[in-house]
Structure 1
Amino acid sequence: MPEFALARRGAAAHPRTMPSPRAYRPILAALAGVAALALMDAFMKGASLAIGAYSAALLRSALGLCLIAPVWLAAGGRWPGRQALRLHLVRGVVSAFMALSFFFALTRLPIAETIAISFFAPILSLYLAAIILKERIRRSAIAAGLFGLAGTLVIVGGRIGRETFNDGAAAGLTAILFSALLYAYNLILARQQAQTAGPLEIASFHSGVGAAVLALGAPWLLALPDGETFLAIGAASLLTVCGAAVLGWAYAREEAQVLVPMEYSGFLWAALFGWLFFAETVTPTVLAGTALIVIGCAIATRRDSRAGST
């Protein structure tokens, strides 16, 4: 075909420049960060099964504060202003209960299934942004919401239809749906925080406020871990800090629309770690539901081709 031949000659005359290896570093960093956080979930599941989700969540926040606060102070960290402090406090409280409900869900559900349902949170955040930040809901957000809802219903329906469904699984599903709602609100708060504080300050107050809130129940609920469980929580704290730092480095050097799809690799890591550490399997309904949720997230993060589209 003449057009095809002309196109090939044009391509030969103007060869496409191949991206340098440096261009792939943010993508590789994002994949590594997601893998680190998925491994953190595996450590926290083991710790939560050993001493309970509350104790594991409290100790992880406390250890995380011990890791990140000295770095923030050494970098010249100062006490935040009134607006930033208010956001730190609100997000710290939200994150504390978000993590607590998520880790509880991990004790009742497979890791991959738990993370798959949590993927619905970015879609929920679009609607919360419309309510809280007065952002306009785009048509793509409506489509994304429908895909995300359908995927969540497929996963939940598959769990209900299994013989293994019991009160524990019902509690786990309730906990992860509640955690996803809090995570969606957490994303809105993180967006507001980023405009008033730096990443080290945010990370320090995130762990510190979360630990302080959870510590209120320590006299009645805290269970001290044995040496192996303490090491697991310590590893989870280190992975949390490292994973967040690596992802922050990646997002500072590449567009979100390029890196957001890398977040979905967390499902693959979760399935791998769940199989390796807990002999968990992934069912067809979880795969199908995850695919629908990922499609919804892809629609939600895609920029409209026309300016002003609603």
Structure 2
Amino acid sequence: MSVGLFAGMNTCIKLAEGHGAALGEILFWRQFGAAVLVGGIVLAGPGWRSVATTRMPAHLLRAALGLTAMAFTFMTILALPLAEATTIGFTMPIFATILGALVLGEPTGWHRWLAVLVGFAGVVIVAQPGGGGFPIWGSVTGLIAAFLTAGVSILLRQIGKTEAAMTTVFWFSTLSVVPLGLIYIFVAKAHPAETWSFLIGVGLLGGAAQLAMTSALGLGPVSVVVPMDYSSLIWATLFGWLVFDTLPGPATWIGAPIIVGSGLYIVWREHVRRQTETTQAVMA
């Protein structure tokens, strides 16, 4: 559900921009809609005390990093066809592996380092540098977005040790509204009803997708949930064809399986590593 909702959100992003909305407006409505949705669920359910926190600096850092990653992600969606933008985003586990080794000192064997190299080879195939298939700067913003999103995932590992998932989602959404609201004052403009429907769709679909992903991670192990994200390429291809009359080029059909394969292998090796550590701890 999360993957399908995020794909719908990405479609609304392109439609909103195509109907005159600026990037700053799209970002504001994405977070404002999510804040209203999450806030309503908290108010109707466990109440405000359930999202109380003593780690506000960590949430502020997560909001700053997450907003920057989101901005680059949206720029990529606007610059590239949906399938290509989605495929570039699949490099996130590759960057997470690199950051996990460098920042957290996580053990990373040659299996995963080889998967990292293979994944980047797939990116080169999809991006076609110098080939003129699509704007190269769209590939660059996509890689920056994936790198920053990987940084968010590393930060969330630390925050998740003491904070509930709903608390993290709540503070990310609400804290983001403040700086985006200031930006919105300068970029807001009148739109026809159709454009407003796309902007509202970005917020509601994004918020619902975020909640669905949070629920999924709460119901199943990461090694099972995360690979489901790769099915977003199916949705992106479908929406790209039905809404924008575009299909992935030959390079994407070749490079996407390479990137997806490397990402899945990284997830599998991480699962094996954690199983080994658990077994050793039990035996000890």
TM-score range, shorter chain: 0.7 to 0.9
Correspondent of 1:48 among 17, 20, 24: 17
Within-5 A mapping of 1:243-254:
243-254=209-220
Partner of 1:148, secondary structure, is: helix
Pair 226,191 (structure 1): closer, same or farther in 2 beyond 3 Å: farther
Amino acid across the alignment from 2:220: E
Correspondent of 2:27 among 57, 70, 73: 57
CA distance in structure 1 between the aligned counterparts of 2:90 and 2:140, rounded to whole angstroms: 15
Task: Tell me whether 1:145 sits opposite 2:121 in the alignment.
Answer: no
Pair 72,146 (structure 1): closer, same or farther in 2 beyond 3 Å: same
Larger Rg: 1
Question: For structure 1, which segment, 37-46 or 170-179, has the greater mean C-alpha deviation from structure 2 after superposition?
Answer: 170-179
1:154 is aligned to 125
Can you list the C-alpha shifts for 1:222-265, whole angstroms capped at 9, x where unaligned?
Answer: 34443222221222222222222223333333333233322111
1:7 is aligned to none
Amino acid across the alignment from 1:51: A
Identity across aligned pairs (percent)? 26
Task: Tell me whether 1:217 sits opposite 2:183 in the alignment.
Answer: yes
Within-5 A mapping of 1:89-168:
89-157=60-128, 160-162=130-132, 165=134
Correspondent of 1:234 among 190, 193, 200: 200
What's the RMSD between the two structures over aligned residues?
2.1
1:288 is aligned to 254
Amino acid across the alignment from 1:149: F
CA contact (8 A) 1:143 1:299 kept: no
Amino acid across the alignment from 2:205: L
Amino acid across the alignment from 1:187: S
CA contact (8 A) 1:124 1:181 kept: yes
CA contact (8 A) 1:43 1:236 kept: yes
CA contact (8 A) 1:48 1:55 kept: no
CA contact (8 A) 2:28 2:177 kept: yes
2:282 is aligned to none
2:174 is aligned to 208
Partner of 2:94, secondary structure, is: helix
Amino acid across the alignment from 1:99: M
Question: For structure 1, which segment, 287-296 or 211-220, has the greater mean C-alpha deviation from structure 2 after superposition?
Answer: 211-220
Correspondent of 1:186 among 142, 152, 163: 152
Calculate the TM-score normalised by the size of structure 2: 0.87
Matched residues, number: 271
Pair 104,225 (structure 1): closer, same or farther in 2 beyond 3 Å: farther
Correspondent of 2:237 among 271, 274, 277: 271
CA distance in structure 1 between the aligned counterparts of 2:190 and 2:109, rounded to whole angstroms: 48
Pair 100,48 (structure 1): closer, same or farther in 2 beyond 3 Å: farther
Q: CA deviation at 1:278?
A: 1.1
Partner of 1:191, secondary structure, is: helix
CA distance in structure 2 between the aligned counterparts of 1:139 and 1:223, rounded to whole angstroms: 52
CA contact (8 A) 2:3 2:209 kept: yes
1:66 is aligned to 36
1:15 is aligned to none
CA distance in structure 2 between the aligned counterparts of 1:148 and 1:187, rounded to whole angstroms: 19
2:280 is aligned to none
CA distance in structure 2 between the aligned counterparts of 1:183 and 1:34, rounded to whole angstroms: 16
Q: CA deviation at 1:93?
A: 0.9
Partner of 2:48, secondary structure, is: coil
Gaps of 5+ in 2: 278-284
Can you list the C-alpha shifts for 1:276-309, whole angstroms capped at 9, x where unaligned?
Answer: 111111111112111111111111111337847x
Gaps of 5+ in 1: 1-31
Can you list the C-alpha shifts for 1:194-222, whole angstroms capped at 9, x where unaligned?
Answer: 22222222112111222222233334333
Pair 224,100 (structure 1): closer, same or farther in 2 beyond 3 Å: farther
CA contact (8 A) 2:13 2:78 kept: no
CA distance in structure 2 between the aligned counterparts of 1:216 and 1:270, rounded to whole angstroms: 32
Pair 236,151 (structure 1): closer, same or farther in 2 beyond 3 Å: same
